Every structure is written in structure tokens, then in C-alpha cells.
């Protein structure tokens, strides 16, 4: 599992909205419910956070809006990490016992990180995964952590509306389409540009969304990668990025 990230800052959780008691199982492997961690510099504008709340299924999906970026735990002393209010709020929201590493009281079977499909969004995911790997590792080894895969494009072509995941998909569609210039192509700059129906359909609905399941295939190598990419040795990180930048993407897609 290789994750690319360089800088860090802080996050400020807004509030936690818990699922309602009724449980309706739309995911075949759901045990209790879901959690969506919505990255949100947009919350002030009622964009990603607001759309997510309106687009979710309240029976089994909860939302924790995050503003900005969480602390990079790879560069901090343990005392500072455990004293960080934002990290403590996140741990409490998940229902994890960080001292005993006990997962028996987890509030959510799936913890889904939902960020923009851009460099900043990937960085936020990287910071969260670093936190999980260093302090809540059983969440990863037991398969609880997923990354939402929102589409980058919406295509309106004739009477059809559909989504494309990335630039490669768009190029392939243009190549096979008879009249691609007649299409109206919308590129989403972030989740905040999606209305509740679009966000619900593409990112939250278990029947139509795409998720990447975080899998640790080699624990020794994973530990090394987090140290290199998220640690303080800039030269080591630069060397790794130059050598591996074109191949850093090994997430298992859970359709």
C-alpha cells in the first residue's frame, strides 16, 4: 500500500451525526452501519457536508465533517498526538479504544474516507491513513477502512447522463463516441460541487458507488512507506517520489 503525501496542517471537526436506530442492510457485508468522513473546507458554504447529510441514508450512514487536514502523526511526539482535540474527537466518533486496541465497540463496520478527487483530497486521505496505521491498525488489518471513489466527470450526451471516473475514462469515451463535441462535460472540482442526489448516487449509495478497500499486503513494506513518505526526511522522500511517482496506486477496488 503506497500513499503519497508531503505537507501537513490541522483539522477542526464540526460535529458528529449518528445513525438512527433502524437498520436496513443494503450492503451485503454490513454488520451494523457506516461512517462517512467528509473532508470539508466546503462546510461553511453548505456544500460537501450539507450535500452528504441530505444525500445519505440516515438509517445506516453517519457523517463526521472535517475541515482541512488532520495532524501528521508521523512527525509528532506521542504526547502531542494524544492531546490533539481533533484526533481525540475522531477516535471517539469511531468508537475505538486506542489504549487496548480493542475493536469490539466500533460504531461502524465500514469507515469510508470521502475526499475530493484531487491532490489535496489524496493528501487528506494519506494523513488519515497514517493515523489509522500508527494508532488504529486493526481497523486496516480487519478490513474496516475504505476510500470513496467519486467520479471526476459528468457527461450529458443526447438524452443520456452518465459519469466517468477519471481522465483516462474520458479519453476512452471521446475515442469511441461518434460526436464527442456535442456532449456537455462537467468536471467536478470537488465533492462540494455535487448536489445531494449526485453525491448520494456516485459516492454514498451502496448500489452505485465505487469504493477502494485499504489492504495491507506487506506490513514491513507498508511501515517503511509511511516512514519515508510521511516522515521528516525530505531527501529520502524526494528520492522515493522521483523513482516511484508513476506507480504509486495499489488500492483494491471493492465494487
- pLDDT tens digits, the chain, 255 residues: what are they? 333 322 333 344 455 555 454 433 333 333 445 666 664 332 222 345 567 777 777 777 777 777 667 889 998 888 888 888 778 878 888 888 888 888 888 888 888 888 877 777 788 888 899 999 999 999 999 998 998 888 889 999 988 899 998 889 999 999 999 888 999 999 987 777 888 888 888 888 888 888 889 999 899 999 998 998 898 888 988 988 888 777 665 444 343
Q: How many domains does the chain have?
A: 2
CA 54 distance to own-chain centroid = 19
Match 488504529 to its residue by C-alpha cell.
136
Domain boundary among 168, 187, 206: 187
| 10 in a structural domain | no
Domain boundary among 187, 207, 240: 187
Q: Give the pLDDT confidence score for residue 25 in this predicted structure.
A: 30
Domain boundary among 142, 169, 187: 187
| 9 in a structural domain | no
Same domain, 164 and 238: no
CATH number at residue 123: 3.40.50.670
Same domain, 56 and 135: yes
Q: Give the pLDDT confidence score for residue 22 in this predicted structure.
A: 40
Q: What residues contact 188, with CB distance under 8 A and at least 6 apart? A: 117, 150, 151, 152, 153, 154, 194
Same domain, 58 and 100: yes
| 109 in a structural domain | yes
Quote the pTM value. Answer: 0.75
Same domain, 160 and 47: no
Same domain, 47 and 112: yes
Tell me the longest C-alpha to C-alpha distance in the chain. 61
| 29 in a structural domain | no
Q: Give the pLDDT confidence score for residue 172 in this predicted structure.
A: 95
Q: Give the pLDDT confidence score for residue 166 in this predicted structure.
A: 87
Domain span holding position 120 = 34-150+190-254
Amino acid at each position: 500500500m503506497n500513499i503519497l503525501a508531503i505537507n501537513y496542517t490541522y483539522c477542526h471537526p464540526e460535529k458528529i451525526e449518528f445513525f438512527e436506530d433502524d437498520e436496513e442492510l443494503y450492503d451485503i457485508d454490513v454488520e451494523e452501519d457506516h461512517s462517512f468522513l467528509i473532508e470539508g473546507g466546503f462546510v461553511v458554504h453548505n456544500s460537501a457536508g450539507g450535500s452528504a447529510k441530505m444525500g445519505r441514508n440516515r438509517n445506516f450512514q453517519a457523517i463526521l465533517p472535517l475541515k482541512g487536514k488532520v495532524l501528521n502523526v508521523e512527525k509528532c511526539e506521542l504526547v502531542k498526538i494524544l492531546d490533539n482535540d481533533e484526533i481525540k474527537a475522531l477516535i471517539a466518533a469511531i468508537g475505538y479504544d486506542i489504549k487496548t486496541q480493542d475493536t469490539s465497540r466500533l460504531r461502524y463496520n465500514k469507515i469510508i474516507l470521502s475526499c475530493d478527487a484531487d491532490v489535496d483530497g489524496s493528501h487528506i486521505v494519506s494523513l488519515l491513513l497514517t493515523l489509522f496505521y500508527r494508532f488504529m491498525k486493526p481497523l486496516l488489518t480487519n478490513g474496516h477502512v475504505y476510500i470513496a471513489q467519486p467520479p471526476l466527470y459528468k457527461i450529458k450526451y443526447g438524452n443520456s447522463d452518465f459519469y466517468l471516473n477519471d481522465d483516462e475514462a474520458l479519453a476512452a469515451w471521446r475515442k469511441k463516441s461518434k460526436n464527442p463535441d456535442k456532449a456537455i462535460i462537467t468536471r467536478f472540482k470537488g465533492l462540494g460541487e455535487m448536489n445531494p442526489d449526485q453525491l448520494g448516487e456516485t459516492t454514498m449509495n451502496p448500489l452505485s458507488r465505487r469504493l477502494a478497500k485499504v489492504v495491507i499486503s506487506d506490513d514491513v513494506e507498508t511501515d517503511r512507506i509511511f516512514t519515508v513518505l510521511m516522515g521528516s526526511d525530505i531527501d529520502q522522500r524526494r528520492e522515493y517520489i522521483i523513482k516511484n511517482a508513476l506507480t504509486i496506486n495499489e488500492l483494491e477496488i471493492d465494487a
